[in-house]
Amino acid sequence: MIPPEHSGRSELRRRTVLGGGLGLGLGILLAACGGRPAAAPQVNVQGPPVSGGELRVGFVGGGASDTLDGAVATNLGDIARAINLYNTLMYFDHDYTLQPMLATAATPNDDATVWTVQLREGVKFCDGRPLRPEDVIASYMRIIDPDDPKSGAASLAHLDEIAKTGENEIEFRLSVADSAFLNNFGSYSNIIVPEDFDPAAPVGTGPFMLDSFTPAMSTVMVRNPHFWGDEGPYLDEVSLLNFNDTDALINALLSNQVDAIAQIPPALVEVIGADERINILDSVTGMYMPFTMRVDREPFDDVKVRQAFRLAVDRPGMLEQVLSGRGTVGNDMFAVFGEGYPKDLPQREQDIEEAKRLLAEAGYPDGLEVELVTAPIQSGVVEAAQVFAEQAAEAGITVTINRMDLTTYWTDYLNYDFSQTFWYTRDFLGQSNAGMMPDAPFNETHWDDEEYIDLVGRIRSETDDAKRQELIGQAQEILYDRGGLIIWGFANQIDAYQSYVGGLEEDRSGVPLSGFQLHKVWIGEVR
């Protein structure tokens, strides 16, 4: 993050490309407010939601490639547009639990090779046309188009056929069993659009519809009068505003140029939160920023080297120095909120002497020199590289950091021997399909473990919940023992907003500002 979220056009498909640094001091922050924070207005956001008004949302990132096509969402603006202009068949709620959206039910047959979806009745697109099964079929065929695959295509490779089987019923027919196929229905990029969809003039069923769009600058969305949901939208208008760096973003919040901002550096939470006009939204998530070791190249083709690198990490120290303690310690396995996550495995801790011993057994008794390729792809990534280099030195690992600009980094990132990446909250199979299988589009470690691959196949076809969870636990243990990821922690998603904004809640997805579910947000009344 999905998240997730990609495939087709480029290797940037799931990436939220953000810049900005941590070079903000208290003086700079307060300067935006004329030297002292103004008194907080008395605003009622505890009562029932209030209709009307405009919400101005700021974030860092975006560029000429910004898109209105939610099926190829790349950066934060793309994701916000995807979630608010369109709907998916299902969605993940704030607890990261799948809930009905345009579909009211999704049911598998006995061997999970066919999924039957019941569509919600009475749904209209923002131009007033009714949602039909034909639109859903066309939407998914567009996603898996072999000539122009969209972000969700990687997880839908086994989708053979989609057929209308009733007035509001569709069957998804698969080439292989997939007991978790319905999770694809909740991916924000698997948007449902009309059969004649034109990304240049987008039509969706989301809570808002497009008013104006200027790539790299701004998007204005207005209330969809045909929205089918029973909650919101309360706002008349939402403006999404691009900023070049974190300094400008935070100063815009403190000077009241925006009402909410996405992704603030953890180190600045206390400073920004000291302004009584500002609230902090701090969400525990499954988003992680791992170090990636290519298991098909020296020195990381030796499992002892991979184990040594993992033991060189002081995970609580990394969490404190990189995230100011705002996160949870990782144990080299992903999908921490997913079924089957093995919480009983021992927490891996720093063990310098054992790391040295393993390196010596692997043929490096005098230590090892490696290059770590990094870039500011997500808040905290570059800082994590610097902390790792310091920690690993104790084990005789000399790390040379090669910091690249964003464009250069993403151009070739799947080929680096030792590097970094980030992922939003995902379930186990979704993450495996996207990043851990030999044919996955983002197999960053070039993982090709036969036992793991076999287990993933069995997990897909297992319809018994208890047995599937047991298999997932076995696959996760393989990652724990010999995987190519150093998952040192899971980062909190931290946003900030004016005290007069209501409806924002903590969200596990890793997507900012309550998963960008802005139809639930309102502007409070000043008392």
- The domain 291-491 is placed in CATH, from the list 3.40.109.10, 3.30.465.10, 3.10.105.10, 3.40.50.150, at 3.10.105.10
Residue 175 pLDDT greater than 80, yes or no = yes
Q: Tell me which of 32 and 381 has the higher pLDDT.
A: 381
Domain boundaries along the sequence of the chain: 26-81+205-285+494-526, 90-186, 291-491
Q: Tell me which of 434 and 17 has the higher pLDDT.
A: 434
In this prediction, residues 494-504 reach a mean pLDDT of 96
Q: Which residue spans within 207-298 are E strands per DSSP?
A: 208-214, 218-223, 237-243, 260-261, 278-283, 291-293
CATH 3.90.76.10 fits 90-186, yes or no: yes
In this prediction, residues 27-49 reach a mean pLDDT of 53
Residue 167 pLDDT greater than 60, yes or no = yes
> By CB neighbour count within 10 A (0-12 exposed, 13-18 middle, 19+ buried), where does 405 fall?
exposed
> By CB neighbour count within 10 A (0-12 exposed, 13-18 middle, 19+ buried), where does 75 fall?
buried
Residue 6 pLDDT greater than 70, yes or no = no
Please state, in angstroms and rounded to a whole number, the distance separating the CA atoms of residues 458 and 456.
5
Q: Which amino acid is at 394?
A: E
Residues 6 or more apart in contact with residue 119 via CB below 8 angstroms:
102, 103, 104, 131, 133, 136, 168, 169, 170
Please state, in angstroms and rounded to a whole number, the distance separating the CA atoms of residues 363 and 319.
31
Each residue's pLDDT tens digit, 240-278: 999 988 899 999 999 999 999 999 999 999 999 999 999
Contact 208, 56 (CB under 8 A): no
Please report, rounded to a whole number, the percentage of residues in the chain having pLDDT higher than 90: 79
In this prediction, residues 121-141 reach a mean pLDDT of 98
Does residue 233 have a cis peptide bond before it, meaning omega lies within 30 degrees of 0? yes
Residue 74 pLDDT greater than 50, yes or no = yes
Please state, in angstroms and rounded to a whole number, the distance separating the CA atoms of residues 43 and 408.
46
Closest CA to 61 of 213, 220, 242, 219: 242
Closest CA to 132 of 71, 192, 199: 192
Report the chain's mean pLDDT, rounded to a whole number: 90
> Hey, what's the torsion of the CAs at 52, 54, 59, 63, to 10 degrees?
120
Long-range contacts of 339-345 (CB under 8 A, 24+ apart): 339/427, 339/428, 339/465, 339/468, 339/469, 339/472, 340/428, 340/468, 340/469, 340/470, 340/471, 340/472, 340/473, 340/476, 341/428, 341/472, 341/473, 341/476, 342/473, 342/476, 342/477, 342/480, 345/477, 345/480
Q: Tell me which of 287 and 36 has the higher pLDDT.
A: 287
What pLDDT is stored for residue 147 in this prediction?
Answer: 95
Beta bridge partners of 398: 369
Residue 45 pLDDT greater than 70, yes or no = no
Q: Any idea what the Cα angle at residue 245 is, between residues 240 and 247, rounded to 5°?
A: 105
Residues 6 or more apart in contact with residue 380 via CB below 8 angstroms:
265, 266, 289, 322, 323, 491
pTM: 0.85
Measured between alpha carbons, how far is residue 265 from residues 261, 272, 381 in Å? 11, 10, 11
Residue 429 pLDDT greater than 70, yes or no = yes
Each residue's pLDDT tens digit, 204-249: 999 999 999 999 999 999 999 999 999 999 999 999 999 988 899 9
CATH 2.30.30.360 fits 26-81+205-285+494-526, yes or no: no
